[in-house]
A and B are shown apart, each in its own frame.
Chain A
Amino acid sequence: NAGVTQTPKFRILKIGQSMTLQCTQDMNHNYMYWYRQDPGMGLKLIYYSVGAGITDKGEVPNGYNVSRSTTEDFPLRLELAAPSQTSVYFCASSYYVGGDRGFGPGTRLTVT
């Protein structure tokens, strides 16, 4: 299994641009998550999904959107990028609530 994969690894956006961060897992996990990590800080939950077609907000959802049309994919959409969204974004998955979380390698995003 490849586990959790994320693309792209790095991206630079200009203020106001939009982009989609891709996340895919091949472990048939029901639960998927998006986190952001600002410099020197722990990770904060943006959105999560408990299964295809179901998503919910985390601690810091403003400025982001998600969708979950399949079990495998959980893309994160940034609309109208702002400098405050400069961060490293991690996707994670688990088989059940309370289960072991596996994390992807992260996407480093800079908004200038």
Chain B
Amino acid sequence: GIQVEQSPPDLILQEGANSTLRCNFSDSVNNLQWFHQNPWGQLINLFYIPSGTKQNGRLSATTVATERYSLLYISSSQTTDSGVYFCAVEETSGSRLTFGEGTQLTVNP
């Protein structure tokens, strides 16, 4: 099956800093999503982005499907951004969303 690798596995920031999270995947995809899992365990859908670039407030994401990677940018980070960020992809040949292992982000005040 498809492999999904996220980096870095852990990231500690001071409030106000910017960060970039990366997701590499091993095969063509027809779906790529970024999720934020908050400290209470809730999964929040950030972006549906199989290709191209999207922005939502301080967050933006870019997927370069031909090179099999996606980037999530967080600008002016806030303590409420803390949690785990997951990248999940779905192969063009299947109907299963495969998750990476996540990036644990801690934003300190």
Contacts and interface: CB of A to CB of B under 8 A. Distances in A.
Interface size class on chain A is 20 to 34
A58 B98 CA distance: 10
Contacts of B98: 45
A53 to B, nearest CB: 16
Contact of A103 (B45, B50, B96, B100): B45
A57 to B, nearest CB: 10
B41 to A, nearest CB: 6
Nearest to A99: B31
Nearest to A49: B95
Interface residues of B, number: 22
Nearest to A104: B43
Interface in B22-49: 30-31, 33, 35, 41-43, 45, 48
A50 interface: yes
B30 A98 contact: yes
A51 to B, nearest CB: 11
B95 A48 contact: yes
Interface string A86-102: 00101010000111111
A90 B96 CA distance: 14
Contact of B33 (A97, A100, A108): A100
Contacts of B100: 42
A14 B35 CA distance: 32
A74 interface: no
A101 B86 contact: no
B95 A97 contact: yes
Contacts of A43: 86, 88, 99
Interface of B: 30-31, 33, 35, 41-43, 45, 48, 50, 86, 88, 90, 92, 95-102
Interface of A: 31, 33, 41-45, 48, 50, 58-59, 88, 90, 92, 97-103, 105-106, 108
